[in-house]
Amino acid sequence: MSFKLVVIGTSLGGLSALKIILGNLPADFPVPIAIVQHRHKESKNTLSELLQEFALLPIREVEDKDEILPGHIYLAPADYHLLVELGHFALSTDEPVSYARPSIDVLFESAADVYCEQVIGVILTGANQDGVQGLKKIKLRGGLTIVQEPSTAESYVMPEAAISAVAVDWILTLKDIASQMVKLCHSSRK
């Protein structure tokens, strides 16, 4: 099984969680990663720069119709939903979902629709329920699901909501999430 995309959703406490995960991925990590981190719509484009200091893979904020390339990390821009289409991303200014735009559910559900079982969905720290429906859909379509161990999360609400709603495949600490992603994505290349 080769994976086409890893989708990560996080909210409160996400920056420090993402630093650990992205910082533990090797430069040859083969699968593209798309991330929704809830942030204020006025927030500047500094998130990618902040994270780039810790990551070996190139990080960029998505622009509409960006091609999805292996070994790249894509961030949803502030105040836009990030959607997956075949081979590229789309941005939308539709209404917020779960009070959020970008919404984790929107990213996860569109990824599940396009890539089905070739998606890995990851839910990290956060203070709301966003991501639960999307993770459900990834699981339903045969994709794999990973959730941060709630006791290690800065805000356990989002991981706990995901775990109580979805029979997730793995509940792991941040470092273990990174190594699990490496295991899954590197073994899928052979």
Q: Which residues are catalytically annotated?
A: 11, 38, 130
Q: How many residues does the chain have?
A: 190
Q: Phi, psi (5° rounding) for residue 100? A: -125, 140
Q: Give the position of tokens 């650990």.
A: 20
Query: Which tokens sit at 80?
Result: 């836009």
Q: How many CB atoms lie within 10 A of CB 35?
A: 28
Task: Identify which of 1, 9, 23 has the alpha carbon closest to the alpha carbon of residue 148.
Answer: 9
Q: Are 108 and 142 in contact (CB under 8 A)?
A: no
